[in-house]
């Protein structure tokens, strides 16, 4: 039996697990991360990180790394098909998922953290606080932090919440050579296309469609450029250039789970997609995962005991997650309007009122 009885055991070395690990170490609380893969890996897509999360990453001095490894677009341009609607100043950082996770991993190691790879969680004896892995290793721990993503086995084992369900949306994603200064969001009936720079020379393309066609075995399947074009089409030369210079195309089925009533059970707490997988139309899933880790670590440091921390954590996170879940779902409906009159109204509101900035202010404001 391996003794980590003074450590918070984090299952999953993704955005949620690594952020939580860093924020705990910042407060001199000992975490240990168990990851089923043999190394940190993420691929094939970009991610946008908004100020609510950037400001928290800045507390562990990662803003400079975000600037160095990612890209802060100057403007976000909104278009109806290829017709400009409006343009606003951008406040987000766009970066490849791989680089974001690598930055978090390096910070975690620099702060003195330990991550144990090739450890796939299989069960937890919560009375005796013993964690068991597929490779027959067992560890005595202090607390279990579930950061094991949307298909969380810990959530299935301890929270009666039903399986993930297909949202009705799928996304094509790829990264190609196409230097850009701005981000573009192009809206159309039943689909929208996003293009944003993730370095000085690379751009990330995301095409979201409403479709009943679920992916069968894998939620993330590699596809061909022909399938992408058939599903999505292009709306600009920029899209064409980016997609044609890419060599890997991924189709992501977008799944969600019902909102949780409880974020904890006994000595187990949930974070990131394990707690609240949402549709990605406001780019907030990863940002919420970072907020979760920051909140839990700060509360634990301030309060000093785990039970009260779990209660406060749940009370603070639930309303915010509920609000962003709702706004994200509504965003898809706004993006995909097909009725010409409604389209006209949407475009008018976007161009002639501060509706976009107001919504962003609401989401980007996070204090604890
Ligand atoms: C198309 C699309 C676009 C998106 N765009 C954005 C965006 O622009 N901005 C944004 O903020 N968010 C975005 N998101 C959401 C974001 O990707 C997720 O919210 C985020 O990755 C969740 O991180 P996580 O660490 O909770 O889960 P994951 O990234 O799924 O990580 C889970 C980790 O746990 C490990 N694991 C799983 N099971 C076990 C086990 N049994 N034992 C040990 N380890 C295990 C996995 O290997 C993995 O490393 C997008 C999502 C999609 C689908």
pLDDT in tens, 295-323: 999 999 999 999 999 999 999 999 999 99
Angle formed by the axes of helices 285-303 and 51-58, nearest 10°: 40
Average pLDDT over residues 106-121: 98
CA 94 to ligand 1: nearest atom: 8
Q: What is the mean pLDDT of the chain?
A: 94
CATH class of 2-164+257-364: alpha beta
Other beta carbons within 10 angstroms of residue 173's beta carbon come to: 23
User: Among all chains, which residue has been given the structure tokens 């159309």?
Assistant: 188
Ligand 1 contacts CB of residue 21 (under 6 A):
no
DSSP-derived letter for residue 365 is -
- The pLDDT score that the predictor gives to residue 231 is 87
- The pLDDT score that the predictor gives to residue 239 is 83
14 alpha carbon – ligand 1 mean position (Å)? 6
Ligand 1 contacts CB of residue 359 (under 6 A):
no
List all residues 6 or more positions away from 18 whose beta carbon is below 8 Å from its beta carbon. Answer: 33, 101, 104, 105, 107, 108
348 alpha carbon – ligand 1 mean position (Å)? 35
pTM of the model: 0.97
Q: Is 230 exposed, middle or buried (0-12, 13-18, 19+ CB in 10 A)?
A: exposed
More confident residue, 120 or 252: 120
Greatest Cα pair distance in the chain: 66
Ligand 1 contacts CB of residue 291 (under 6 A):
no
Helix/strand/coil percent split, the chain, to 5 = 40, 30, 35
Ligand 1 contacts CB of residue 107 (under 6 A):
no
User: Among all chains, which residue has been given the structure tokens 């919440």?
Assistant: 161
Name which residue sits closest to atom 46 of ligand 1, judged by CA: 12
5 alpha carbon – ligand 1 mean position (Å)? 27
280 alpha carbon – ligand 1 mean position (Å)? 11
CA 254 to ligand 1: nearest atom: 53
Whether 101 contacts 14, CB under 8 Å: yes
Alpha-carbon distance of 271 to 155, in angstroms, equals 10
Average pLDDT over residues 38-51: 88
15 alpha carbon – ligand 1 mean position (Å)? 6
6 alpha carbon – ligand 1 mean position (Å)? 27
237 alpha carbon – ligand 1 mean position (Å)? 31
- The pLDDT score that the predictor gives to residue 212 is 85
pLDDT digits over 159-189, tens only? 977 889 999 999 999 999 999 999 999 999 9
Angle formed by the axes of helices 306-335 and 355-364, nearest 10°: 160
Measured in degrees and rounded to the nearest 5, phi and psi for residue 91 equal -120, 10
Confidence of residue 149 (pLDDT cuts 50, 70, 90): very high
User: Percentage of residues in the chain with pLDDT exceeding 90?
Assistant: 85
Ligand 1 contacts CB of residue 46 (under 6 A):
no
More confident residue, 227 or 345: 345
The beta-strand segments (E) located in the chain are 2-11, 31-34, 46-49, 75-80, 83-89, 93-96, 114-116, 121-125, 130-133, 138-146, 165-177, 183-188, 191-197, 202-210, 220-223, 249-256, 264-265, 268-270
The beta-strand segments (E) located in 90-227 are 93-96, 114-116, 121-125, 130-133, 138-146, 165-177, 183-188, 191-197, 202-210, 220-223
- The pLDDT score that the predictor gives to residue 216 is 53
Strand partners, 264: 269
- 59 closest CA partner among 286, 285, 291: 291
Average pLDDT over residues 53-75: 97
Other beta carbons within 10 angstroms of residue 286's beta carbon come to: 23
Ligand 1 contacts CB of residue 100 (under 6 A):
no
Ligand 1 contacts CB of residue 147 (under 6 A):
yes
User: Would the pLDDT of 255 be above 60?
Assistant: yes
256 alpha carbon – ligand 1 mean position (Å)? 12
Q: What element of type H or E holds 338?
A: none
Antiparallel, parallel or unpaired: β 183-188 and 75-80 = parallel
- The pLDDT score that the predictor gives to residue 352 is 96
User: Would the pLDDT of 218 be above 80?
Assistant: no
User: Among all chains, which residue has been given the structure tokens 């009705």?
Assistant: 168
Other beta carbons within 10 angstroms of residue 342's beta carbon come to: 12
Ligand 1 contacts CB of residue 280 (under 6 A):
yes
- The pLDDT score that the predictor gives to residue 217 is 47
Cα-Cα-Cα-Cα dihedral sign, residues 111, 312, 128, 277: negative
């Amino acid at each position: 039996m391996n003794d980590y009885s003074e450590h918070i055991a984090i299952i999953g070395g993704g955005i949620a697990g690594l952020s939580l690990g860093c924020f705990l170490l910042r407060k001199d609380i000992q975490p240990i991360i168990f990851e089923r893969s043999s190394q940190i890996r993420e691929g094939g897509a970009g991610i946008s990180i908004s100020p609510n999360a950037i400001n928290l990453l800045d507390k562990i001095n990662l803003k400079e790394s975000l600037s160095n490894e990612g890209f802060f677009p100057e403007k976000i341009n909104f278009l109806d098909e290829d017709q400009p609607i409006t343009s606003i100043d951008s406040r987000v950082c766009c970066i490849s998922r791989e680089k974001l996770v690598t930055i978090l991993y390096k910070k975690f190691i620099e702060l003195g953290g330990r991550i144990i790879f090739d450890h796939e969680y299989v069960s937890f004896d919560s009375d005796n606080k013993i964690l068991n892995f597929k490779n027959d290793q067992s560890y005595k721990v202090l607390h279990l932090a579930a950061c094991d993503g949307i298909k969380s086995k810990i959530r299935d084992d301890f929270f009666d919440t039903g399986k993930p369900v297909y949202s009705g949306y799928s996304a094509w994603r790829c990264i190609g050579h196409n230097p850009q200064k701005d981000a573009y969001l192009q809206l159309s009936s039943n689909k929208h296309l996003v293009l944003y720079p993730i370095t000085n020379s690379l751009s990330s393309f995301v095409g979201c469609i409403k479709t009943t066609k679920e992916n069968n075995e894998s939620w993330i399947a590699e596809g061909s450029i022909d399938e992408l074009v058939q599903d999505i089409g292009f709306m600009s030369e920029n899209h064409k250039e980016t997609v044609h210079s890419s060599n890997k195309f991924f189709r992501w089925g977008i799944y969600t789970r019902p909102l949780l009533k409880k974020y904890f059970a006994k000595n187990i707490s949930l974070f990131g997609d394990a707690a609240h997988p949402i549709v990605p139309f406001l780019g907030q899933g990863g940002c919420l995962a970072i907020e979760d880790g920051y909140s839990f670590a700060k509360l634990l440091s301030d309060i000093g005991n785990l039970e009260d921390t779990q209660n406060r954590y749940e009370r603070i996170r639930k309303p915010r997650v509920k609000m962003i879940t709702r706004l994200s779902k509504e965003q898809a409906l706004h993006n995909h309007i097909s009725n010409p009159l409604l389209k006209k109204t949407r475009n008018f509101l976007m161009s002639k009122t501060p509706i976009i900035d107001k919504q962003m202010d609401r989401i980007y404001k996070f204090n604890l």
